[in-house]
C-alpha cells in the first residue's frame, strides 16, 4: 500500500515506478526529546476568540521523523509555530505543555526561548527565498548565525559556512556564499535554508512543507537530503505536509490532523495498511496513484470554519458513516494497538 503512493520522485513522474529511497524503519530511533501534551491554541480577536488547536498530543524521539498531514487549516503549522515559540498574535497558547528534553518550553522567558530557537530547535519553511533576507548574501547570513550560535568569526566562520553548504549538497559552496537569494534557484535556496537551520547542530528540525514549492525533481532531492540528515546527524524532524508521498518516503510515524486535532496517529506502514479513521481513508483515496488510473476521489465538503466548529466529531458533516453520537459527542483518541491511535466513535465497526 505504501508503495502505491505517488511521491515527489522524478522516476515516478516519468515512468510510474517508485525509485527506492532509504526506507524509514517505522520504529522509535532513540529516547524521546519532544512531548507535546494537550496543546491548546486560540486566535483572539477584539470581539471573539477561535479555538484552532483543541488538545494536541505528539511525541518525537531522537533521530525519528514524524509527519503531520492534513488539509490547509487543520492546525499543522500552528502546532509547529507553537513548538518553536514563533506563534504570533492573534494566536495564543491557552493550555498544555511542550516538553523539550524535559523542559516545558511554555514556561521559558523570551530570552531563554530565543536561546533554544535556532540553537537546539530549527525550522525551515515552504518558500525558502522569502525566508532569506534579500539584501544579504548567503555567506553573510550564515556567518551571522555561526557567530550568534557558535562564536565563530572570520576565516573559521567562512570555512564552516562553506562546509555546511557542501553538506547539504550545494556544488561550489564558495560561489554560493557570495550570492543573494534572488540569484538562487528554489532548490538551492531550500538547501541554503537547511544549511542555516543546521548551523547550530540542532536536535530537532521542524520542516513546514519543505518541498511543496519545488518542482518534482528538486522535491525528491530535498526528501533525500532530509533522510540523509537523519542518518548522518541523528536529527529528529517534524515534517508538515499535505503530500502523502512525502510521508511515505520520509517519515517513521504520521499524525493526521483535522480541525485542530489529531484524528489518527500510527507508524507510516501501519497507517497505510490498516487505516482506521474515515478522514484518513478519504485522504488516501484522494491521493495520486502510481498505477490504476481513473478519476481521483475527493472528500466531500470543506474543512470547517473554526469559528463554527461542528459539535461532536468535527468531521461529521463530511463523513459518510456519521451517526447520532457523532453529531453530539467528540471522540477522544483511543489506542487500537500499542502504537496506533484513532479518534472515531465507529472505528471498530469500520475496519
Ligand atoms: Fe465519522 Fe463518526 Fe467517526 Fe467522526 S466519529 S469520523 S463522524 S464515524
Which atom number of ligand 1 is nearest to the Cα of residue 278? 6
Regarding the beta carbon of 287 and ligand 1, being less than 6 Å apart is answered no
* Ligand 1: centre distance to CA 332 (Å): 11
Which domains does the chain show, CATH number per domain?
2-128+204-305 (3.40.50.300)
* Rounded mean pLDDT, 24-46: 83
Tell me the mean pLDDT in the region 162-186: 95
Q: Does ligand 1 lie within 6 Å of residue 321's CB atom?
A: yes
Cβ atoms of 63 and 230 within 8 Å: the answer is yes
pLDDT at residue 188, as a whole number: 94
- pLDDT for position 16: 35
Q: Find residue 256's DSSP bridge partners.
A: 69, 264
255: CA distance to ligand 1 center in Å? 17
Task: Tell me, in angstroms, the distance from the centre of ligand 1 to residue 315's CA.
Answer: 6
Q: What is the mean pLDDT of residues 20-41?
A: 71
209-221 residue pLDDT tens:
998 878 888 889 9
Using 50, 70 and 90 to split pLDDT, how confident is the model at 9? very low
Residue 314 in this model has a pLDDT that exceeds 70: yes
Pocket flag, ligand 1, residue 322 (CB < 6 Å): yes
Our answer on whether the CB atom of 282 is closer than 6 Å to any ligand 1 atom is: no
Ligand 1 atom with the smallest distance to the CA of 316 is 7
Task: Give the pLDDT mean for 292-297.
Answer: 66
Give 306 Cα–ligand 1 centroid separation in angstroms. 18
* Model pLDDT, residue 106: 98
319 lines ligand 1 (CB under 6 A): yes
Closest ligand 1 atom to 319 CA: 1
All cell numbers assigned to 196: 542555516
Query: How far, in Å, is the centroid of ligand 1 from the Cα of 124?
Result: 34
Assign 14 a pLDDT band (cuts: 50, 70, 90).
very low
Query: What DSSP letter does each residue of 159-181 carry, written as one string?
Result: HHHHHHHHHTT-SSHHHHHT--G
Q: Give me the DSSP letters along 314-339.
A: TTGGG-TT--HHHHH-PPPPEEEETT
Dig out the grid coordinates for 201 from the structure: 547542530
Q: Report the nearest atom of ligand 1 relative to the CA of 320.
A: 1
| Per-residue cell: 290 | 502510481
Q: Where are the alpha helices (DSSP H) in the chain?
A: 10-15, 76-83, 110-116, 128-131, 138-150, 154-167, 173-177, 186-198, 216-233, 244-250, 268-273, 278-285, 324-328, 347-350
pLDDT over 70 (residue 272): yes
In this predicted model, what pLDDT tens digit does every residue of 177-194 receive, in sequence order?
A: 999 999 999 999 999 999
From 51-55, 208-212, 267-271, 323-327, the region with the lowest mean pLDDT = 208-212
The three grid cell numbers given for residue 68, joined into one nine-digit string: 503531520
Atom of ligand 1 nearest to the CA of 321: 8
Ligand 1 proximity of 331 Cβ (cutoff 6 Å): yes
Give how far Cα 135 sits from Cα of 132, 138, 139, 186, Å. 9, 10, 12, 17
Give nearest CA residue, ligand 1 atom 3.
344
Q: Ligand 1: which atom is nearest the Cα of residue 347?
A: 3
> Residue 24 has what pLDDT?
42
Contact 321, 333 (CB under 8 A): no
- Ligand 1 pocket test: pick from 256, 301, 346 the residue with the most ligand atoms within 8 Å of its Cβ: 346
> Residue 288 has what pLDDT?
56
> Is residue 61 a contact partner of residue 33, using CB atoms and an 8 Å limit?
yes
Q: Answer whether residue 329 shows pLDDT above 90.
A: yes
The pLDDT of residue 149: 86
The larger pLDDT score, comparing residue 104 to residue 17, is at 104
Average pLDDT for the chain? 89
Q: Give ∠ CA 48-258-202 in degrees, rounded to 5.
A: 95
CB 255 within 8 A of CB 68: yes
pLDDT at 293 over 70: no
Please say whether the beta carbons of 85 and 105 come within 8 A.
Answer: yes
**Distance of CA 327 from the midpoint of ligand 1 (Å):** 9
Of all protein residues, whose CA lies closest to atom 5 belonging to ligand 1?
344
Residue 254, C-alpha cell as written in the block: 504520521
Q: Is the pLDDT of residue 26 over 90?
A: no
Whether omega before 238 lies within 30 degrees of 0, making that bond cis, reads no
Residue 10's pLDDT band, with cuts at 50, 70 and 90, is very low
The answer to whether the CB of 154 falls within 8 A of the CB of 188 is no
CA of 249 to the centre of ligand 1 (A): 28
The confidence score (pLDDT) of residue 349 equals 96
**pTM given for the model:** 0.89
> Does ligand 1 come within 6 angstroms of the Cβ of 313?
yes
How close is the Cα of 278 to the center of ligand 1, in Å? 7
pLDDT of residue 2: 61
Write out the three cell numbers for 325.
Answer: 453520537
Amino acid at each position: 500500500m505504501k508503495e502505491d503512493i505517488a511521491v515527489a520522485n522524478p522516476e515516478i513522474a516519468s515512468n510510474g515506478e517508485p525509485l527506492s529511497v532509504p526506507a524509514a524503519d517505522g520504529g522509535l530511533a532513540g529516547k524521546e526529546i519532544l512531548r507535546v501534551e494537550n496543546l491548546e491554541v486560540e486566535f483572539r480577536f477584539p470581539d471573539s476568540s477561535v479555538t484552532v488547536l483543541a488538545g494536541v498530543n505528539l511525541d518525537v524521539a531522537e533521530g525519528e521523523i514524524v509527519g503531520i498531514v492534513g488539509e490547509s487549516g487543520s492546525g499543522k503549522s500552528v502546532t509547529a509555530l507553537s513548538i518553536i515559540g514563533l506563534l504570533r498574535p492573534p494566536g495564543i497558547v491557552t493550555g498544555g505543555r511542550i516538553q523539550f528534553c524535559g523542559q516545558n518550553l511554555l514556561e521559558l522567558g523570551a530570552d531563554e526561548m530565543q536561546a533554544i530557537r535556532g540553537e537546539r530547535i530549527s525550522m525551515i519553511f515552504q518558500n525558502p527565498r522569502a525566508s532569506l533576507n534579500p539584501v544579504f548574501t548567503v555567506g553573510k547570513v550564515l556567518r551571522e548565525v555561526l557567530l550568534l550560535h557558535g562564536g565563530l568569526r572570520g576565516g573559521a566562520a567562512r570555512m564552516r559556512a562553506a562546509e555546511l553548504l557542501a553538506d547539504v549538497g550545494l556544488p561550489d559552496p564558495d560561489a554560493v556564499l557570495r550570492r543573494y537569494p534572488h540569484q538562487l534557484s528554489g532548490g538551492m535556496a531550500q538547501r541554503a535554508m537547511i544549511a542555516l537551520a543546521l548551523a547550530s547542530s540542532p536536535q530537532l528540525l521542524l520542516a513546514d512543507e519543505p518541498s511543496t514549492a519545488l518542482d518534482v525533481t528538486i522535491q525528491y532531492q530535498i526528501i533525500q537530503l532530509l533522510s540523509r540528515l537523519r542518518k548522518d546527524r541523528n536529527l529528529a524532524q517534524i515534517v508538515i505536509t499535505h503530500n502523502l508521498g512525502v510521508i511515505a518516503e520520509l517519515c517513521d510515524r504520521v499524525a493526521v490532523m483535522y480541525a485542530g486535532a489529531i484524528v489518527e496517529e500510527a507508524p507510516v506502514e501501519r497507517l497505510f495498511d490498516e487505516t482506521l479513521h474515515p478522514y484518513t481513508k478519504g485522504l488516501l483515496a484522494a491521493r495520486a496513484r502510481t498505477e490504476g488510473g481513473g478519476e481521483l476521489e475527493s472528500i466531500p465538503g470543506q474543512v470547517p470554519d473554526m469559528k463554527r466548529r461542528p459539535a461532536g466529531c468535527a468531521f461529521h458533516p463530511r463523513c459518510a458513516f456519521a451517526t447520532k453520537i457523532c453529531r453530539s459527542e467528540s471522540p477522544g483518541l483511543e489506542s487500537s494497538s500499542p502504537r496506533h491511535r484513532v479518534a472515531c466513535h465507529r472505528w471498530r465497526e469500520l475496519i
